[in-house]
Amino acid sequence: MRKFLEKQYQADVVIAGGGLAGIVAAYELLDHGKQILLIEKGKRQAFGGMAKESFGGIHMIGTPHQKRMKIQDNPDLAYRDWESFAQFGPEDHWPRSWAKFYCENSLEYIYNFLIHKKIQFLPLVNWPERGIYHSGNSVPRWHITWGTGHEIIFRLLNALEAHPHRDKLKILFDHEVSSFETTQGRVVGVVGKSMLDSSPFSAQAES
């Protein structure tokens, strides 16, 4: 039986997962000059995860596309619509907080961010698969990307590679995170294995 020495890594931030959220997190952390380790279970060609295979529809509020179509929308209306469908329970403080934040900031944090990365949308704003025939979205908010989710990932990966601090990002493909390391209740690292030979690794970080 082969035995491997554990490989050890150190960074300011460790990101587990190279999907859309992981890619955007890495990009924004590079803006702050952080040393980043991004760990992805899949192979390099699968970078982007399920978002790469998606239709590319994005729920956004108060966009220029909506205004051009004279769709009257605002964050308060969007949040009321969200609540009508979400079935939040009395204890769901953080889900409610996230929904409210999303509705109030989708224009800046999603639309403007994607437009800056040269991602374009079809001229029509659509209804998603819910919201027409029963409680849900009261106005169209579904923005479809030219080129679907594949284009979103393509553009974001190009932006990531062109980032002026790209040298601060290390990516481990074919590596699986299996658990977190904690000290006094705080996560300080991750452990896992290589998908190629099952060799162990660990990574420590501030975040």
Q: What is the pTM of this model?
A: 0.88
Question: What distance in Å separates the CA atoms of residue 75 and residue 98, rounded to the nearest whole number?
Answer: 13
What was the pLDDT predicted at 146? 96
103-155 pLDDT, tens digit each = 999 999 999 999 999 999 999 999 876 655 666 888 999 999 999 999 999 99
DSSP-H helix ranges across 41-168: 64-68, 75-86, 93-106, 113-116, 148-161
CA distances from 178 to 16, 29, 191 (A): 10, 23, 6
Q: Which of 12, 42, 38 lies closest to 25, judged by CA?
A: 38
48-62 pLDDT, tens digit each = 999 999 999 999 999
Amino acid identity of residue 173, one-letter, is F
